[in-house]
Amino acid sequence: MITIENISKKYGKAAVLNVASVAIPKGQSFGLVGNNGAGKTTLFNILLDLIRPTTGKITNNNIVVNESEDWKNFTGSFIDESFLISYLTPEEYFDFVGDLRGMSKADVKSFIAQFDEFFNDEIIGKNKYLRDLSKGNQKKAGIVAAMMGNPEVVILDEPFANLDPTTQIRLKQIIKTLTENRAITVLISSHDLTHVTEVCERIVVLDKGVVVKDIETSPETLEELESYFAL
């Protein structure tokens, strides 16, 4: 589904990313971990054509992402609150995204109702603009919006940050449900090694922009990652 080939990114003489080759098959739950400055968000931004690579290409379902926008029809994502439209209410924002995805208002309402527990009565019906919500509640809205319209690929950058423990647990179950039938490819970056090992079947470690580990998740993975980052 997604192939990363010879992707590099330089700012001046400073190289922040240098990934030779990564292939992510359809339906895989893929985790990306690394310390601050490792290049995780840079890689996701290139994948979403928010920035252009210095070299190389990324294809999403055989579409080169910086040569065509067709991949956007089947890809949902949330990187940060800049993906939101701050002057809209959550309801208005969901209707806007739903319209882009070809969903009727009734479809949107039905879809959003599935997330009542995840929202914890803090999002819908509060007569607040997105900009007035807490960082955690903004993230909830953005994550759910990324799942609208039956996407084949969902990309989430640090989805567990700013969420309370109960919501983190609920989000992990949502992510696991997404990939149960192998129809949706989910890519997650996270600083939280425990969460990412619980929801991802494969984990890639970036260090200074370079892939240093590519692991199929097992009961030993968390210990392996903790040992690596403890050095």
Report how far residue 47's alpha carbon sits from residue 65's, in angstroms, rounded to the nearest whole number: 7
Please list the pLDDT of the chain residue by residue as tens digits (231 residues): 899 999 999 998 889 999 999 999 999 999 999 999 899 999 999 999 999 999 999 999 999 999 999 999 999 999 999 999 999 999 999 999 999 999 999 999 999 999 999 999 999 999 999 999 999 999 999 999 999 999 999 999 999 999 999 999 999 999 999 888 788 999 999 999 999 999 999 999 999 999 999 999 999 999 999 999 997
Report how far residue 220's alpha carbon sits from residue 223's, in angstroms, rounded to the nearest whole number: 6
11, 18, 176, 81: CA torsion to nearest 10: 0
**Ordered domains of the chain (ranges, CATH):** 2-82+151-230 (3.40.50.300)
Residues 100 and 147: beta-carbon distance below 8 Å: no
